[in-house]
C-alpha cells in the first residue's frame, strides 16, 4: 500500500488548494488529482446528482488503485462522505468549513462563512454551526461567483475585486473577526480578499487540517511512502480542456 498514489478530487480546480497543503506536508507521496470541471458548479446540484457524480470519480480512483481518497470539496463532502465510507474500504478524508478554529480564536466579532449553497443548506453544516451559535455570531454567505472566477483563472484584478466587494457591501468589516473560506476554490483569492477588505482580516480554511488528518491516518496504518524523492502529481480534468489542466498546475505552484 505504501507505494500506491492518493486520489484527490473536487468539482473543479478548487481542491488544488488542498493538494498544495498535502504536497508540502508529504512531498514524497504520489497524487492523482481529478477536477470535475465538466460538471461544475456542484453547489447548485441536487444531493442525489452530487452522489452520482462523486461515485463515478470514486470508482475511477479504485480502478486506478489508490490507497486513500480525499474529497477536497466541501460540497461533495456534505453530500457523499458517509456513503463513500460505506462503499470503499480505503481511508476516505473529507473537508468541512473550518468553523471550529475560527470560533476558538474569536474575540467577540462576527464570523462570516463563505461557501456554496449546498454546503450551507446541508444538515452536516447545520450540526456544525449549532455547536457554536452560543459562542459567536455566525453569518452564512453563499458565494458561487467566486468559484466561477477561480475556474477562469481570475484570482486577481478588477473583476475579482468587484465580486468580493459586492459580497461584503452590506457588512461592516470592522465588526468581522474572521472569514471562513468554506469552499476550496476561495483560498486562491486570499490576496484579493485582503486588498478589498483590508490586510488585517483573518482568513481561515480547512486545507492544512485536512492534509494533517490524511498524514495521521496513513502514518497510523504504516502506509506513508518510503522514499527520498519527490512524488509525482497527475492532474486529470473531466472537461478534457487542456487549458484547465495547465491552469491547475499553475495554481499548484503559486506562491511556493
Active site residues: 73, 183
Estimate to the nearest angstrom the gap between the alpha carbon of 33 and the chain centroid: 13
Give buried/exposed letters for 81-108 (b at 16+ CB in 10 A, else e). Answer: beebeeebebbbbbbbbbbbebbeebee
Can you say which residues are annotated as belonging to the binding site?
A: 10-11, 42-43, 74-75, 184-185
β-sheet bridge partners, residue 178: 111, 202
Asked if 185 contacts 208 with a C-beta cutoff of 8 angstroms, the reply is no
List 93's β-bridge partners, or say none: 70
What is the C-alpha separation between 47 and 196, in angstroms, rounded? 34
Name residues whose C-beta falls within 8 Å of residue 39's C-beta, 6 or more positions apart in sequence.
11, 45, 53, 238
Amino acid at each position: 500500500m505504501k507505494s500506491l498514489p492518493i486520489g484527490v478530487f473536487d468539482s473543479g480546480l478548487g481542491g488544488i488548494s488542498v493538494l498544495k497543503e498535502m504536497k508540502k506536508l508529504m512531498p514524497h507521496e504520489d497524487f492523482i488529482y481529478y477536477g470535475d470541471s465538466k460538471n461544475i458548479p456542484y453547489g447548485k446540484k441536487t444531493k442525489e446528482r452530487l452522489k452520482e457524480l462523486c461515485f463515478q470519480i470514486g470508482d475511477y480512483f479504485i480502478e486506478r488503485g489508490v490507497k486513500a481518497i480525499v474529497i477536497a470539496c466541501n460540497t461533495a463532502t456534505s453530500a457523499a462522505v458517509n456513503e463513500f465510507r460505506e462503499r470503499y474500504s480505503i481511508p476516505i478524508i473529507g473537508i468541512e468549513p473550518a468553523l471550529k478554529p475560527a470560533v476558538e480564536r474569536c474575540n467577540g466579532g462576527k464570523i462570516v462563512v463563505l461557501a456554496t449553497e449546498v454546503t450551507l443548506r446541508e444538515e452536516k453544516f447545520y450540526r456544525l454551526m449549532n455547536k457554536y451559535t452560543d459562542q459567536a455570531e455566525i453569518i452564512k454567505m453563499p458565494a458561487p461567483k467566486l468559484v466561477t472566477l477561480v475556474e477562469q483563472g481570475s484570482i486577481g484584478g478588477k473583476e475579482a475585486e468587484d465580486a468580493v466587494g459586492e459580497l461584503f457591501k452590506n457588512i461592516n468589516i470592522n465588526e468581522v473577526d474572521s472569514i471562513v473560506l468554506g469552499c476550496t476554490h476561495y483560498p486562491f483569492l486570499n490576496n484579493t480578499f485582503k486588498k478589498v477588505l483590508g490586510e488585517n482580516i483573518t482568513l481561515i480554511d480547512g486545507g492544512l487540517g485536512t492534509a494533517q488528518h490524511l498524514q495521521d491516518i496513513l502514518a497510523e496504518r504504516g502506509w506513508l511512502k518510503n522514499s527520498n524523492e519527490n512524488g509525482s502529481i497527475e492532474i486529470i480534468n473531466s472537461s478534457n480542456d487542456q487549458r484547465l489542466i495547465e491552469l491547475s498546475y499553475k495554481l499548484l505552484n503559486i506562491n511556493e
